[in-house]
Amino acid sequence: MCIDSIVHASDISNPIKEWGTCFKWTEVVMAEFWRQGDNERDLKVPISYLCDRYTTNMAKAQGGFIGFVVKPIYELIGNFLPDLLPYMQNFTDNGDRWIKLIPEYDEKLSKFFFHFYLLELLE
C-alpha cells in the first residue's frame, strides 16, 4: 500500500514541481484530455469530465486537482518521507498562480464557446 501511494503520487506529481515545469506539463496533459473529448464529441458519446476544451477552465481545474487530490496525498507521504516537505510550498505557489490565470482562461473559453456553437448552428 505504501509503495502504491508513492507510485501514484509520482504519477500526479506535476503540481509539486516548480511553476515552469508544472505549467508545461499541465498543458500537455490537458491537450491529451481535450483530444479525448474531441474524439468523444465526434463519436457523439458523452464527453468525459475535464475533456471538453470548450467548457474546461484549465486554471480552475488545476486548483481543485491540487487542493483535493495531489496535496493531501503528498501531506500523507510527507509524514514518512520528510525530504518532500520543502517542496510542499510549491502547491501554494502554483495554486496561487493558477487562481490568477482563471479570468484569462474564462475569456479564452468564452471565445471558444461562441466559435464552437456558431459552427454547430451553421452545420
What is the residue extent of each domain of the chain?
A: 2-122
Give the CA dihedral 55, 31, 88, 86, nearest 10 degrees: -160
Res 2: pLDDT: 78
Residue with cell 463519436: 43
pLDDT tens for residues 47-71? 999 999 989 999 999 999 999 999 9
> Region 22-36: what's the mean pLDDT?
97
The contacts of residue 88 (CB under 8 Å, 6+ apart) are 16, 71, 74, 75, 78
Question: Rounded to whole angstroms, how far apart are CA atoms 44 and 41?
Answer: 5
Topology, domain 2-122 = Catalytic domain of cyclic nucleotide phosphodiesterase 4b2b (1.10.1300)
User: Could you tell me if 67 and 92 are in contact, meaning their C-beta atoms sit under 8 angstroms apart?
Assistant: no
Question: Rounded to whole angstroms, how far apart are CA atoms 85 and 93?
Answer: 14
Q: Residue 45: pLDDT above 60?
A: yes
| Choice between 113 and 88, residue whose per-residue pLDDT is larger | 88
Residue with cell 490568477: 100
Question: Rounded to whole angstroms, how far apart are CA atoms 74 and 54?
Answer: 31
| Choice between 2 and 88, residue whose per-residue pLDDT is larger | 88
